[in-house]
Amino acid sequence: MHYGALLAALMLVASCKSQLQPTVSKEQYYQIDSTLQADTGIVNYYSPYKAKLESEMNRVIGYSDVALQKDNGEESLAGNFFADALLWKGKQLDPDVQASFGTKGGIRSGLKAGNITVGNIFEMMPFENAVTVLTLGGEDMLRWAAFMAKTGGQPVSGVRLDIRDGQVENFLVQGKPVDPKATYKLVTYDYLANGGDYVTCFDNVLARKDHAQRIRETLMEYVSDLTKNGKHIQGKIDGRVRIVK
């Protein structure tokens, strides 16, 4: 574009912008509190949807014999439940999946003892993260173990990890040491596969398969499957991740 034409265009934009600046002739503030009357038209419009949503959130899908606490230790009841559910779904999607991985920060709350509702699962995983299966070489599996050791352990299933002074002391996948020349399949979710939560060990994957299945849906299916088979959630600390001294 010719410089003269460009200058004219810029002046026109600036002129239009200045003409569109809002002006306030009289300021008035409104107090928003319990004295403010609700718009009955709006309330009547959304009330049926609100009732339907509350009914679904309060629907009982299972029962937990113990409270699944969420904490930032190397292993937690909530973390074990989460990772076990993820591995359960991963094996359904791909029978070759050997391990699962989440992060402590990704689990937003634990689960209470007693009836477990759809709403409880939403509280644990409110995000729209979806299931992802990664194929990794053995060396990158060891990088993954190093990441977990450095961060004091993370929610996992299918592995055994011993940590000493922030370093990997022992790491087993399905009860066996990792072969640096072998390949492994790991189920996680898209946010972590994309490098979320400072995960840097998935930058060299051999293959990646993203699924439409949401993590939240996976948790609900897992609990419902236990219920269908006459089982309760029975969380326990089993030493899958340990900090040794």
Q: What is the pLDDT of residues 27-74, one digit of tens each?
A: 766 667 777 677 776 656 556 555 666 677 999 999 999 999 998 889
Q: Is residue 134 part of a domain?
A: yes
Task: Flag whether 33 is in a domain.
Answer: no
89 in a structural domain: yes
State which amino acid sits at residue 67: A
Encode pLDDT of 184-226 as tens digits.
999 999 999 999 999 999 999 999 999 999 999 999 999 999 9
Beta strand pairing call for 114-117 and 176-177:
unpaired
What CATH number corresponds to the domain at position 137?
3.90.780.10
Check residue 209 and give its pLDDT.
Answer: 98
Task: Examine residue 31 and state whether it is found in any structural domain, yes or no.
Answer: no
CA dist., res. 23 & res. 26, Å (int): 9
Confidence grade of residue 13 (pLDDT, cut at 50, 70, 90)? very low
Average pLDDT over residues 95-110: 96
Q: What is the average pLDDT across 13-31?
A: 58
In a domain, 203, yes or no: yes
Q: What pLDDT, on a 0 to 100 scale, did the predictor assign at position 5?
A: 46
Element holding 152 (H helix, E strand): none
- The rounded distance, in Å, linking the Cα atoms of 49 and 206 is 45
Domain of residue 137 covers 55-243
Instruction: Say if 81 falls within a structural domain.
Output: yes
Residue 211 covered by a domain: yes
Once rounded to an integer, what is the mean pLDDT over residues 138-160?
97
Spatial separation of the C-alpha atoms in residues 220 and 225, rounded to whole Å:
8
Instruction: Give me the pLDDT at residue 25, please.
Output: 66
Alpha carbons 217 and 159: distance in angstroms, whole number: 24
Q: Is 12 a residue whose pLDDT tops 50? A: no
Q: Establish if 149 belongs to a structural domain.
A: yes
Question: For the chain, how many structural domains are there in total?
Answer: 1
Residue ranges of alpha helices (H) inside 58-131 are 77-93, 118-124
Q: Is 19 exposed, middle or buried (0-12, 13-18, 19+ CB in 10 A)?
A: exposed
